[in-house]
Structure 1
C-alpha cells in the first residue's frame, strides 16, 4: 500500500481512514461494494478513507458491522470524534469536576477561560473535518467552564504563549470580548494567568499542550493534547517530570501583574472602541 500524504491537521482523522481501508481490502471489497452495504456512494467511502472527514455515528456503526470489525472501528471513531457525547469528552468533563488545582500550558486561550463566541469560532474550524452540531459543542464547552464558577472553585493556573493574545479568532468583537474576559478572570483570587513572551517561546515545546490536574484525593495526573483527543498520563515519574517543567516555565513567564498589563496593552492597542 503506498504511503498516504496527509496534512498534519488531518493526520489524526486519517488514522480512521487507514483502518477502514485495511478492513475493506481485507474483505477483498472495492469502495463501491462497501458503499452498497451501508447505502453510501463509493465517493463517500473514498472521503472517509482519505481522511477528509469522519462518518456520522450511525454510519460508523454500519461500517463496523458490515466489515465485522467487532467494535474496533467504533472505538477508533469514538477516540477521534469531538462530539460532546464521545466517551473521551465525557471523561474530561468528569475529571475536571474532580479537580482542585489546574496547571495549564497552552498556545491558545485556555478552554476554561474562553467566551462562548471565541469557543464557537475555534470549534467551527473543525466542523468540515468532524461534522456534528456546532451549538452542542459550544454548549459542552460552556458546561466545562462551570467548574470555575462554583461556590468553591478550584485553583486555576495557566501559562499561555503571547501569540494567543494576537492570534485573531473571529472578528474584532470576538477578540475584544475574549481579552476583556481574560482580564476579568485574572482578577479573581483563584485564577493565576501568566504569559510567556515571544522572546521565550522556545521554552514551551517539551511541555507542549499540557494540563496537570490535582484531584480531590490528592493524586495528580496529566493530560496532553499532542494529537486529538489527547491522552491521560498517570505514571508518577512522568507526571513529576511534567510538573517540574511547568514550574520552570512559570518562573520564566511574566508575573501575573505583568501578564495582565500585557493583555490590557493588546486590548487597548487593537480592540478598544
Structure 2
C-alpha cells in the first residue's frame, strides 16, 4: 500500500492529483476526516484519493474546489486523470475527440460512448467484467465533457436501428438511453440519424467507424477491434470512408424521422417505466 509520504507526484496524473489534493487540504489546515465531513465523503475516501488508490470523480473535484478554493485546478486535472485511466490503446482516440472540430460516427450494434447514459455504459462495460465497474464507467462518461466546451465539435451520429433494439441492461435502462438520445433533438451541434432496417444493403456493412476532422490536421478514420483501435490518416482510406459516410447519411432517416423512430421504439418496445430517466 502506497504511503502518503512516499507518493511520487510525477508517477502518473492520478498520483499528481492525490499530491495536489493533500497539498491544498493541508494548506487549509484540515484533516482528512474534516475535509470528508465538509464534502460529505468519508475521511477514508479522502485518504485513498490522496494516495492514488481511488479514482476521483468530477463531482468530488468540484466539491473539493468549492471547499478548498483551488481555482478550478482539480477539475482541470481530473480530466487528465480520467484520460490516463482509459485502456492504453484507446487514449489516442480520446485525444482525437478533444481536438476534433467535427466527429462523424457510425455504429451498428450499440450507442456511441459519447452518447451513453451511466446505466447503459455500466451495462456495456460490465458484460464480461465487473471489476472496478463504477470507476471504469466514470472514465467513459468523462469523455462526454467535450460537449461542455465553449466551442464544442459538430457531432454527427448515424446509428443502426439494430442498436435501438439490442436490449442492453434491460427495458428501463434502454428507455433511459433512448430518452437521452431524444434530449439532443433540438441541438444543432449534436445530430442523430437512424439507419432503418428497411435501408437494406448500405455503405457500412463492413462495420462501425468514426471520422475525426480538424481545423488544420488531416482527417483521421478510426475503426476498432477486440482490445485494439486502428486510427489512420491514409488518404485512400479517408476518401473511401468519407464517401461511405455520405451514403450512410443519405440512406438514414431525417433528423425528425429518426427522433420519431427512437420515440416509437422507446414506447412500444420498452414500455413506460415511469418518469425517471436512467
TM-score exceeds 0.5: yes
Hey, what does 2:111 align to over in structure 1? Answer: 109
**1:177 equivalenced with 2:179 (yes/no):** no
* In 1: Cα distance, 2:252 partner to 2:221 partner: 21
* In 1: Cα distance, 2:225 partner to 2:201 partner: 17
Offset, 1:204: 4.8
CA RMSD of aligned residues (A): 1.8
Q: 1:104 aligns to what SS in structure 2?
A: strand
* 1:244-263 deviations in Å (ceiling 9; x for gaps): 01101111111111000100
Pairing 1:53-68 to 2, within 5 Å after superposition? none
Hey, what does 2:124 align to over in structure 1? Answer: 122
Residues 207, 246 of structure 1: 8 Å contact kept? no
* In 2: Cα distance, 1:261 partner to 1:232 partner: 34
* 1:140-199 deviations in Å (ceiling 9; x for gaps): 111111112222210010111101111111122211111110000232110111111112
Hey, what does 1:39 align to over in structure 2? Answer: none
Residues 98, 216 of structure 1: 8 Å contact kept? no
Q: 2:101 aligns to what SS in structure 1?
A: strand
Pairing 1:1-273 to 2, within 5 Å after superposition? 84-107=85-108, 108-127=110-129, 132-269=131-268, 270-272=270-272, 273=274
Listed as ranges, the gaps of 5+ residues in structure 2 are 1-83
* In 2: Cα distance, 1:120 partner to 1:135 partner: 7
* In 2: Cα distance, 1:148 partner to 1:104 partner: 15
* In 2: Cα distance, 1:114 partner to 1:147 partner: 14
Offset, 1:106: 0.1
Q: 1:225 aligns to what SS in structure 2?
A: strand
Residues 204, 244 of structure 2: 8 Å contact kept? no
Offset, 1:85: 4.2
Listed as ranges, the gaps of 5+ residues in structure 1 are 1-82
Residues 89, 227 of structure 2: 8 Å contact kept? no
| Equivalences, count | 188
Offset, 1:206: 4.2
Offset, 1:139: 1.1
